[in-house]
Structure 1
Amino acid sequence: MSLNPDAILYYSTHPVEFVEDIIRAKPDARQKDMLQSVADNPLTSVRSGHGVGKSAVESWLIIWFLSTRPYPKIPCTAPTKHQLYDILWAEVSKWLRNNPVLENDILWTQEKVFMKGYREEWFAVARTASKPDALQGFHAEHVLYIIDEASGVEDKVFEPILGALSTEGSRLFMAGNPTRLTGFFFDSHHKNRAQYNTLHIDGRESSRVDDAFIRTITEMFGEDSDVFRVRVAGDFPKSLPDSFIPMEWCERASAAHTAPESPNRIDIGVDVARYGDDSSVVCPVFDKSTQAEPDIYHHNNTTELAGRVIITVKQLARDYPAAEIHLKIDCDGLGVGVYDIINEQRDDIIDAVEQAREADGIDAPRFVFELYECHFGGEGGTVSGDEGDPIEYANSTGLMWGAVRLALYEQRLSLWENDQQISQLSNRKYVVNSKGQIELEKKEAMKKRGLPSPDMADALALALYEPRRYTWELG
């Protein structure tokens, strides 16, 4: 390759200088610590907050190890294809592209990064951590295992590594947000710590972490929250999960309740009872800011519930003729029947409202009635829809409840005062999952803790939720 033997010998123990001189990158102080640790130690484990530059370090390590060892093998893994290919593998490509020293010797493909002419003997390869054998079969004098987002990788994937690391030239580098209180990664910072060189990188100490990111997490969740601990401070979560919505926020919003006057929009969330002891709840919210008293029904008859919802829609349309109505129905389980009945009658409902207004002599724009099919187990994301939003939810349940939490935090939502609703909103817990996303406690787990199904809170969350509609174009 383009580097002469003396340079290779020098850089083999000086990865920081390799990155600066050959890759032409500028690692910060904590990135330098990570790089040098791999040169000096067989086992390195890094727990950190979000955005400190771990993926860049991993890509530099791959290129450094390929360039300074004969016939190395570098198995790389992560919990998801997105993390492995879209982030880590793309990062390697970025640093190799247009590099005058390396671009002709190290070749990048979607499956492998390898030394020219030695595809099968001198390479790095990406394997998702979805199978126990993902990291099996890599035998060489020089092996470097890269484990990205290591807290989310199951122990069974780590087992083949232990035997391979008996070779003197072998190295292991694993890094990630510390999201789990069990597992191989957790143990590397606790009971097995003596075997590793462990690094802890607090996002507040990193020049690469945006102050706005830290400020948003701090203001929204507080420095004692698991979201802050995992995403910013790089600490493992507390032993007991946090409540997602603080009770004092609910009490404050309930005390500030005012009756609606002339809303421009009414959102109605309908949570349909799934079991005998659950309740069906119809919850109107005016202009996304004022909750009206919800209707609560203790039955699972979809036809009757659909009829009651239609009555509510017609009555609200008559009382508030200037308002659009957006009806959002929980369609998991029995709710799909309620949705289907109302959807079949949608045009008739609009006509009936128009006829009633005409009979009452009400002059108003044509009635706007939108109907949405909603699912609590749907796709997650951010409440804002912005990929740069630092608070990401694992599924649509989190998005719905996240919209309630944000509105309560910003004090732009007043709640109908009810102790049962306050209890439901403030008793649901959350964890930060292995992807750094917020994941709410499942209803089954709440019931095991002796809590009822949060039907009133779910109906409120549906009302505030803004479902994303997709348009499909045929090419």
Structure 2
Amino acid sequence: MSKLKEAIQYYYHAPVEFVEDVIRAKPDDNQKAILRSVDAEPMTSVRSGHGIGKSAVESWVMIWYMCTRPYPKIPCTAPTQHQLFDILWAEASKWIRNTPALARELIWTKEKIYMRGHPEEWFAVARTATNPDALQGFHAEHVLFIIDEASGVKDIVFEPVLGALSTQGAKLLMCGNPTRLTGFFYDSHHKNRAAYNAMHIDGRTCARVDQAFVDKIIDMFGADSDVFRIRVAGEFPKAEADSLIAMEWCEAAAELEIETKNERIDIGIDVARYGDDSSALYPLFDQRRSEEPEIYHHNRTTEISGYAVQMIKKYANLYPDMKIYRIKVDCDGLGVGVYDNLYDMREQIVEEIWIDRCTRAGLNPEEHSDYLECLDIPKIDLEIMECHFGGAGGKVREEDPIEYSNSTGIMWGAVRQALMDGTLQISNNDTLINQLSSRKYTVNKDGRLELERKEAMKKRGLPSPDIADALALALYEPQGWNLYI
């Protein structure tokens, strides 16, 4: 028997040794357990916290299977292109590239890895789970399905996998953060558990997980939160969603006394027209100190624009040295009319405030001699800013371990962070405190925080959080996320 055949025969049921000897990686105990499970069991399902090295072990399984089985087919999928191509596929490329023996035999392309000379018969292929037919049509003596972030993959994508797994020798490896309480992945750890080797890896037991990451999650969300359960402990979320903002933070913020230099005012405007919702104008000084918001019902957008102009002029009179005015309008609905009105009036507002300040100084800008003196009175820096609650998601701060699914989450997340840090004083308003502390969140299939929709809040008997939205707009920085000036 040739040495090659002997090696293949040896590694056929020895994935850990293959990884150590051929790929020259050092799997930890959790990764070894996953590798051995794929060899011994037809179906392996792994729920885990973040950062346990699952993308690495998935890529090792793929390479091991390709090198020890003749003419295998290995369909790989994930909920997003980013997870599939930028993480899993890139991970496989790294290990192949860094191992000369593998690089000679395995050809890596953007969507397929195949054995040299056998591109159509001996391969692993990447298919995003957005396509219901992603895993259709894979039949061979040796088939291995690898499903990353499996909690986020729709059940319809799994259906052809079950048919293929009826073939003797076919295998399935699913890994992911347990983000959903329903679906194929959830069932593999519950009602269908007997059919799987269902594994659980708590990030706190894994040497690869940075303790600073664990501490940050606990500090930001608490050890009893769904964020901690999913991202660290590798547990499914609770049946009841978590509240994003704790009431005790709001109550403490309402009692704060924060002195500001009053160099800047941000006014958040959340616009409603009819029905039960309200329009709210929220004034925030130096992004730290609140004054009482103004609430209006059943008003036309022209009226809300007028109230905004009155508020700008009121604070310009009260704080004659304040230079920066940022008016932030929610433009996803009726607010676009308010934005257009204020934008068109911007120069007029600036001019009227300047004339009023000149008059208060005993000067008449229309007289030549007084006009020259008026030039020493600065005009306010007024900007009308178009904002959108339905925009792209991301992080409140770059160092944060958690992302929000959209700009609504980022805005509310910024309020949450400031309240938790004790750097924001809010209006002592029971309605505002109730709105802030009543909105719940879930962790979606991508591991991002997703705020409860207003429709869902209303079904729970809660009003639209108009004042809280106005506060979130006031704190919002569209030109980046430098929220703490």
Query: C-alpha distance in 2, partners of 1:92/1:360?
Result: 72
Q: Identity of counterpart residues, as a percentage? A: 63
**Aligned-residue offset at 1:167:** 1.8
Counterpart of 2:232 in 1: which secondary structure?
helix
Say which SS state the counterpart of residue 102 (structure 2) adopts: coil
Whole-Å separation in 2 of the counterparts to 1:105 and 1:83: 26
Alignment of structure 1 residues 16-95 onto 2, 5 Å? 16-95=16-95
Which amino acid counterpart does residue 189 of structure 2 have in structure 1? H
Q: Aligned partners of 1:18, 1:354: CA distance in 2, in Å? A: 77
Secondary structure of 2:464's match?
Answer: coil
Compared with structure 1, are the counterparts of its residues 240 and 261 closer, same or farther at alpha carbon in structure 2 (3 Å cutoff)?
Answer: closer
Q: What code does the residue aligned with 2:405 have?
A: A
RMSD of aligned C-alpha atoms? 1.6
Partner of 2:369: none
Q: One-letter code of the match for 2:11?
A: Y
In structure 1, C-alpha distance between the alignment counterparts of 2:244 and 2:262, rounded to whole Å: 29
Q: Which is worse superposed, 145-154 or 202-211?
A: 202-211
Does 1:401 find its partner at 2:400? no
1:461 deviation in Å? Answer: 0.7
Per-residue Cα deviation, 1:252-309 (whole angstroms, up to 9, x for no partner):
1112245x66412211110001542111000011111111101111124011111111
Does structure 1 retain, via aligned residues, the 8 Å contact 2:261–2:286? no
1:439 to 450, 454, 460: 450
What corresponds to 1:473 in structure 2?
A: none
User: Following the alignment from structure 1 to structure 2, what is the Cα–Cα distance between the partners of residues 79 and 179?
Assistant: 13
Q: Single out whichever of 317-326 and 234-243 deviates more from structure 2.
A: 317-326
Structure 2 segments unaligned to the other structure (5+ residues) = 362-373
TM-score by length of 2: 0.93
Q: Mean alpha-carbon deviation: is it higher for 161-170 or for 46-55?
A: 161-170
Looking at structure 2, the residues matched to 357 and 27 of structure 1 have their Cα atoms a distance apart, in angstroms, of 71
Determine the C-alpha separation between the residues in 1 that align with 2:193 and 2:98.
40
**CA displacement 1:307-360 (0-9 Å, x = unmatched):** 111121122223222341111100011000100111112122222222222222
- Mapped contact 2:204–2:233 kept (Cα < 8 A): yes
Deviation, structure 1 residue 465: 1.2
Query: How big is each residue's C-alpha offset from its partner over 1:431-463, in whole Å with a ceiling of 9 and x where there is no partner?
Result: 000111000000000001111010011101111
Do structure 1's residue 166 and structure 2's residue 127 form an aligned pair?
no
1:275/1:190 Cα in 2 relative to 1: closer, same or farther (>3 Å)? farther
Secondary structure in 1 aligned to 2:75?
Answer: strand
CA–CA distance in 2 between the matches of 1:256 and 1:118?
A: 70
Is residue 2:243 matched to residue 1:243? yes
Matched, 1:208 2:219: no
Structure-2 separation of matches of 1:114 and 1:399: 42
- Residue 406 of structure 2 is aligned to residue 383 of structure 1: no
Letter in 1 for 2:381: V
Distance 1:343 1:206 in 2: 54
Return the alpha-carbon distance in structure 1 between the equivalents of residues 408 and 427 of structure 2.
22
Q: 1:414 Cα deviation (Å)?
A: 1.1
Q: Hey, what does 1:191 align to over in structure 2? A: 191
Stretch moving more, 246-255 or 439-448: 246-255
CA offsets 1:71-96 (integer angstroms, 9 cap, x no match): 00000011111111111111111111
User: 1:96, 1:338 → 2: CA distance?
Assistant: 57
With 90-99 and 135-144 compared, the bigger mean Cα shift is at 90-99
Match of 2:428 among 399, 412, 417: 417
1:212-227 map, 5 Å: 212-227=212-227
Q: Does 1:369 align with 2:368?
A: no
Q: Is the 8 A contact 1:45 1:189 kept in 2?
A: yes
- Determine if the alignment matches structure 1 residue 292 to structure 2 residue 305: no
Question: Which whole-Å CA distance do the structure 1 matches of 2:275 and 2:206 have between them?
Answer: 53
2:137 is aligned to 137
- Measured in 1, the distance between the counterparts of 2:182 and 2:415 equals 31
Give the whole-Å Cα distance in 1 for the aligned partners of 2:25 and 2:458: 53
| Structure 1 residue 468, shift from structure 2 partner | 3.2
CA distance 1:184–1:287, change in 2 (3 Å):
same
Match of 1:255 in 2: 255
CA distance in structure 1 between the aligned counterparts of 2:480 and 2:407, rounded to whole angstroms? 14
Kindly indicate whether the alpha-carbon contact (under 8 Å) linking 1:276 and 1:300 is maintained by their aligned counterparts in 2: no
Secondary structure at 2:281 match in 1: strand
Q: Distance in 2 between matches of 1:284 and 1:86?
A: 43
Q: Give the Cα separation in 2 of the matches to 1:3 and 1:391.
A: 49
| 1:202-246 per-position Cα deviation (integer Å, ceiling 9, x unaligned) | 111111111111111101111100010001100000011111111
Is 1:461 the counterpart of 2:460 in the alignment?
no
Partners of 2:478 and 2:255 in 1: CA distance:
29
Which deviates the most, 217-226 or 367-376?
367-376
Judged with a 3 Å threshold, the aligned counterparts in structure 2 of structure 1 residues 24 and 215 are, in CA distance, closer, same or farther, namely same
Match of 1:272 in 2: 271
For the Cα contact (< 8 Å) 1:113–1:123, is it kept in 2?
yes
Query: In structure 2, what is the equivalent of residue 102 of structure 1?
Result: 102
Asked if 1:336 is matched to 2:347, the reply is no
The answer to whether the 8 Å contact 2:274/2:297 transfers is no
CA distance in structure 2 between the aligned counterparts of 1:366 and 1:209, rounded to whole angstroms: 53
- 1:67-121 C-alpha deviation (Å, 9 max, x unpaired): 1110000000111111111111111111111421110110000121000110000
- What is the letter of the counterpart of residue 346 of structure 1? R
Q: CA deviation at 1:381?
A: 0.2
Question: Which stretch shifts more, 134-143 or 124-133?
Answer: 124-133
